[in-house]
Amino acid sequence: MIEKKLRSLEDLFGDPIKNKSTVKESGSIIELELDCLISFSDHPFKLYTGERLENMVESIKENGVLQPIIVRPVGSGKYEILAGHNRVNASQLAGLSKIRAEIRDVDDHEAVIIVIATNLEQRSPSDMLPSELAKALKMQLEAAKATGKKQIINALDSPSNPHGDRDSQEGNPVGHRGKSIEKVADKNRMSKTNIQRYIRLNELIPDLLERVDDETIALRPAVHLSYLSRNEQQIIEDTISIKGYKIDMAKSEKLKDLSKRGKLTDEKIYSVLSGEDEKKPKKPTSIKLKPKLVTKFFKSEQNQAEIEKVIEEALTIYFQMKEEKEDE
């Protein structure tokens, strides 16, 4: 078992002695100075913080970085990190100066696939912040659309091998424009609708998106707000940050509808958020009578139904008299 694992690691990382040389062909593994590394230009995931980061730093201090990061050369001796942003960050904190890295010579779309797929390998969508998932899914979809080739989806299956066998399966002609969103949905085990909902979050202003992350705005209301202009969203953000109003499904739907009809003024936003425009009559509340009051007018042997009947008759007479007095 152990032997098999070691062999597998060797297959993956190659001969460690060889790796000491600076072979830089795609797929080779070398040791890189941390100073040579730059973050992926549009990295959608937030870096670990707190206890999770501390644990990683401790682990690296004790055992080193077990799995090489994945990078691609970007010229001037620099390498862009495709997978392993947290490992690089933790290595810096652990005081290391070098890290083992697998070099990949990939284009922008393939780079996106590796960035997203390696993160999704380690973390399920449910572990990610909505903002991270929104960006990740959007990038996946754009990459899939941009290439329009099935190999992108195959690469999702095998993130460690974007140059793998791409054209031999399924028999689809290369370049066939498939239903990108369906494929992204399949790969993430999510429905098409939910993929679309999360992607809509990218239309939110940062402040509102942050509220989705900290769960003060739920996903569905947030999706409704994403259809509003950035100016309207900003007014909403300002209003709820000052007044502390909550946005639920009903309010968000109303705001979206008003915006669509071009009738979403500052005053309307305020009245919707505050609930002032709520025309729905309030549910009648039940009241309790104090025992002192009950004993004043009713005998102890009278049950609730009898008492209610007397109260109803009395109130009917009372309101009739009141009405007659007002008519005079």
Residue 202 binds DNA, judged by CB under 7 A:
no
Alpha helices in the chain (DSSP H): 2-13, 50-63, 85-93, 108-122, 130-147, 150-157, 180-188, 192-200, 206-213, 219-225, 230-243, 249-260, 266-274, 291-297, 304-327
Q: Is 320 helix (H, G, I), strand (E, B) or coil?
A: helix
Tell me the C-alpha distance between 149 and 138, whole Å.
Answer: 17
Residue 200 binds DNA, judged by CB under 7 A:
yes
Residue 254 C-beta: closest distance to DNA, Å: 12
Q: Is 107 helix (H, G, I), strand (E, B) or coil?
A: coil
Q: Which stretch binds DNA (CB under 7 A): 9-17, 32-40, 75-83, 174-182?
A: 174-182
Using CB under 7 A, pick the residue from 32, 181, 228, 236 that binds DNA: 181
Cross-strand partners of 31: 100
Residue 141 binds DNA, judged by CB under 7 A:
yes
Residue 278 C-beta: closest distance to DNA, Å: 10
Q: How far apart are the two ends of the chain, measured CA to CA in Å?
A: 100
Are 197 and 220 in contact, with CB atoms under 8 Å apart? yes
Considering only residues 47 to 76 of the shown chain, the ones binding DNA according to CB under 7 A are none
Residue 152 C-beta: closest distance to DNA, Å: 12
Of residues 82 and 223, the one with the C-beta less far from DNA = 223
Tell me the C-alpha distance between 171 and 147, whole Å.
Answer: 17
Using CB under 7 A, pick the residue from 193, 229, 241, 316 that binds DNA: 193
Residue 281 C-beta: closest distance to DNA, Å: 11
Residue 203 C-beta: closest distance to DNA, Å: 8
Q: Tokens 């008299």 — which residue?
A: 321
Which of 105, 243, 119 minimizes the C-alpha distance to 163? 105
Residue 286 binds DNA, judged by CB under 7 A:
yes
Tell me the C-alpha distance between 118 and 115, whole Å.
Answer: 6
Residue 290 C-beta: closest distance to DNA, Å: 16
Residues 143-172, one symbol each (x = binds DNA by CB under 7 A, - = not), give --x---------------------------
Residue 174 binds DNA, judged by CB under 7 A:
no
Considering only residues 210 to 249 of the shown chain, the ones binding DNA according to CB under 7 A are 218-221, 227, 248-249
Using CB under 7 A, pick the residue from 4, 261, 282, 283 that binds DNA: 283
Residue 194 binds DNA, judged by CB under 7 A:
yes
Name the helix (H) or strand (E) containing 82: strand 78-83
For the CA atoms of the chain, what is the radius of gyration? Answer: 31
Name the helix (H) or strand (E) containing 70: strand 69-75
173's tokens: 């002609």
Residue 138 C-beta: closest distance to DNA, Å: 9
Q: Which stretch binds DNA (CB under 7 A): 109-117, 279-287, 291-299, 318-326?
A: 279-287
Cross-strand partners of 73: 79
Residue 182 binds DNA, judged by CB under 7 A:
yes
Residue 260 binds DNA, judged by CB under 7 A:
yes
Using CB under 7 A, pick the residue from 192, 230, 309, 322 that binds DNA: 192
Give me the residues that bind DNA (CB under 7 A), please. Answer: 141, 145, 177-182, 190-194, 196, 199-200, 218-221, 227, 248-250, 260, 283, 285-286
